[in-house]
Amino acid sequence: MLTIRNLHVSVEGRPILKGLNLEVLAGQVHAIMGPNGAGKSTLAAVLAGREGYEVTEGEVLFEGQNLLDLGPEERSHAGLFLAFQYPVEIPGVSMVQFLRAALNAHRAAKGLEPLDTADLMALLREKAALLKLDPSFLTRSVNEGFSGGERKRAEIFQMAVLDPKLAILDETDSGLDIDALKVVAEAVNALRAPHRAFLIITHYYRILQHIQPDVVHILADGRIVRSGGPELALELEEKGYEPLILPA
């Protein structure tokens, strides 16, 4: 589904990703762990198409398509979703307005008619309930005044609405209380499917106890330095990064 080959990325002339390789197959859940500043969010940003990141080498294929050629909205239409580490507030734009525009753009890209209001609201209410979000949040401005945990849940809510093929979760578990973490994990697990994949960026073993990954990677200094099964996350939890990153 996603193939990253020898990806080099610079920000303001400074190399951040330095030859990253990754292969994610449909149906899989991959976890990416790594120290602060390793380049995890940079990877997420480059995949989603944020400006200001210069790809100096390498390629990214998403379902056979060259992902880097597409604008952010086209990547979204193709089935890519990024749950942001720091979701931004959008004053004056309600969640309903926002998701109506997003969903209808997705539908237009597939040659479908816009959803009518009743169907749209039914869908949004259903997914809000799944994330245990109060329906009133649909009419509030996007992320405005949301608590840290509410923002993270709102990201997963949007993911559930947009039904992506590949979802990248950038530290969605940070800032969630224990119950909210369960709610989010359940929503992700409910969406696990043979045609869908997840890339979960996290610092904590805890979320991976709820969402069993197929593969765990350690990203350090712009590269994947180790990959393994779920036990790698446990090992990290016990020993910390240093012994695992340092060449033996």
Partner 1 sequence: MKLAEAPTLSLEAGASHLTEVLRGYASAEGLPPSLREAWQAHARQAHLEALFLDQKHKEDWKYTPLSFLRRPWKLAPPVQASPPVSLAFSGQAAELVLPSEDLPALRSLPAPTSVWEALLTPAASLQHYALSQEGYFVLAPHGTGELSVHAATLSVAPGTQAEVLVAPSGSGFLLVRLHLDAGEGAQVRFFLPAGGGAHDLFVYVLVTARLAQEAQVETYDLTASVGWKRSEVRVYLSGVQAQAHLHGAAIVGQGSVVDHAIRVEHAVPHTASNQLFKALVYKGGHSAFQGRIFVHPHAQKTNAYQSHKALLWEPGAVAYSRPQLEIFADDVRCTHGVTTGFLEGEMLFYLRARGVPEEQARHLLAQGFLEEVLSRVPQEALRGWARQAMGFAE
Ligand X SMILES: Nc1ncnc2c1ncn2[C@@H]1O[C@H](COP(=O)(O)OP(=O)(O)OP(=O)(O)O)[C@@H](O)[C@H]1O
Which residues lie near Mg ion (CB under 5 A)?
Answer: 40-41, 85
CB of 172 to Mg ion, least distance (A): 11
Q: Taking the CA atoms of 75, 80, 83 and 89 in sequence, report the sign of the dihedral they define.
A: positive
Partner that binds at residue 39, options Mg ion, partner 1, ligand X, none, CB closer than 5 to 8 Å by kind:
ligand X
Give the rounded distance of the alpha carbon of 248 from its chain centre. 32
Of 12, 51, 116, 238, the one binding ligand X (CB under 6 A) is 12
Cβ atoms < 10 Å from Cβ of 208:
22
Residues facing residue 192 across a β-bridge: none
CB of 135 to ligand X, least distance (A): 32
Q: Is 213 in the site for partner 1 (CB under 8 A)?
A: no
Closest to partner 1 by CB, 110 or 195: 110
Q: Is 16 in the site for partner 1 (CB under 8 A)?
A: no
Enter the tokens of residue 64: 């056979």
Q: Decide the pairing of beta strands 2-11 and 53-62.
A: antiparallel
How far, in Å, CA of 135 to CA of 128, rounded? Answer: 7
How far, in Å, CA of 61 to CA of 8, rounded? Answer: 15
Q: Is residue 106 within 8 Å of residue 158, measured between CB atoms?
A: no
Q: Give whole-number Cα distances, 115 to 124, 137, 156, 161, 238, in Å.
A: 12, 20, 21, 13, 49
Q: Is 158 in the site for ligand X (CB under 6 A)?
A: no
Closest to ligand X by CB, 41 or 172: 41
Stretch that binds partner 1, among 47-55, 56-64, 120-128, 219-227 (CB under 8 A): 47-55
Stretch that binds ligand X, among 21-29, 34-42, 87-95, 103-111 (CB under 6 A): 34-42
Contact residues: partner 1, CB under 8 A = 48-51, 71-73, 75-77, 81-82, 84, 87-88, 90-93, 97-99, 101-103, 105-106, 109, 141, 158, 162
